C-alpha cells in the first residue's frame, strides 16, 4: 500500500474518532442538562405549577376576548380565508 494512501486512511480514522467523540460528549452534556432541569423541577415544584396556572388563566382571558369580536368582522375574515384558499 502506498504511503500516501496509508497516511490518508490514518487521518480519516483520526477524524472519525474525533467526530464521534465530539458527538458523544455533546449528547452526554445534553442528557445531563435535561436531567438537571428535571431534578430542579422536582426540587421546586411550586414554581412550575404557578407557570402552568398563569398559562391557563391567559388562555381563558384570550378566549373571553375572542367572544367580543363582532360577527361582521368574523364574516369578513372567513370570506377572506375562503377567497385565499380558492386562489392558492
How far is the C-alpha of 77 from the C-alpha of 63, rounded, in Å? 17
What pLDDT, in 10s, does the model give residues 56-74? 666 665 555 566 888 899 9
Residue pLDDT tens, the chain, 88 long: 788 999 999 999 999 999 999 999 999 999 999 999 999 999 888 765 666 666 666 666 555 556 688 889 999 999 999 999 999 8
Cell of 48: 412550575
How far is the C-alpha of 57 from the C-alpha of 49, rounded, in Å? 12
**What does pTM read for this prediction?**
0.48
Q: DSSP 3-state helix, strand, coil percentages of the chain (rounded to 5)?
A: 90, 0, 10
User: In this predicted structure, what is the pLDDT of residue 64?
Assistant: 57
How far is the C-alpha of 5 from the C-alpha of 14, rounded, in Å? 14
Amino acid at each position: 500500500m502506498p504511503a500516501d494512501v496509508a497516511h490518508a486512511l490514518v487521518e480519516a480514522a483520526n477524524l472519525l474518532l474525533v467526530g464521534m467523540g465530539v458527538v458523544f460528549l455533546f449528547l452526554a452534556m445534553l442528557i445531563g442538562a435535561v436531567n438537571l432541569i428535571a431534578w430542579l423541577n422536582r426540587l421546586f415544584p411550586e414554581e412550575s405549577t404557578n407557570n402552568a396556572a398563569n398559562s391557563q388563566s391567559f388562555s381563558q382571558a384570550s378566549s373571553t376576548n375572542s367572544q367580543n369580536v363582532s360577527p361582521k368582522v368574523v364574516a369578513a375574515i372567513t370570506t377572506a380565508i375562503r377567497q385565499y384558499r380558492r386562489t392558492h
